[in-house]
Amino acid sequence: MAVIGFCTLDLFMGEAHSLKDKRRILKSMLEKIRSRFNVSIAEVEQQDLWQRSTVAFVCVSNERAHADQMLSAVVRFMEQMDAQITSYQTEIL
């Protein structure tokens, strides 16, 4: 049976001083995550705010524990990047 792990993160990017800065920072973050982890990730809300963003990512696995580990690993990785996580929510389906 397939297990889907889903996570949404609200981010604050204090370094961004314009939408152009935000897009540059966010694009770099998303590319690093895609290349390091086997997840699908995209900005899903707050596209017009220049210091805030909501990002969602998903992973598919055959085990619940593995999906949970993947979600946690991506969140830990994002905590070390240029954006501050203000909140996040995970769900395993």
75-91 tens-digit pLDDT: 999 999 878 999 999 99
Q: Which two tokens stand for residue 83?
A: 């954006």
What pLDDT shows up at residue 82? 77
pTM for the whole structure: 0.86
Distances in Å between the alpha carbon of 22 and those of 1, 6, 13, 82?
38, 23, 7, 10
| CATH for 3-92, options being 3.40.50.10860, 3.30.70.1120, 3.40.50.300, 3.40.50.620 | 3.30.70.1120
29-52 tens-digit pLDDT: 999 999 999 899 999 998 889 899
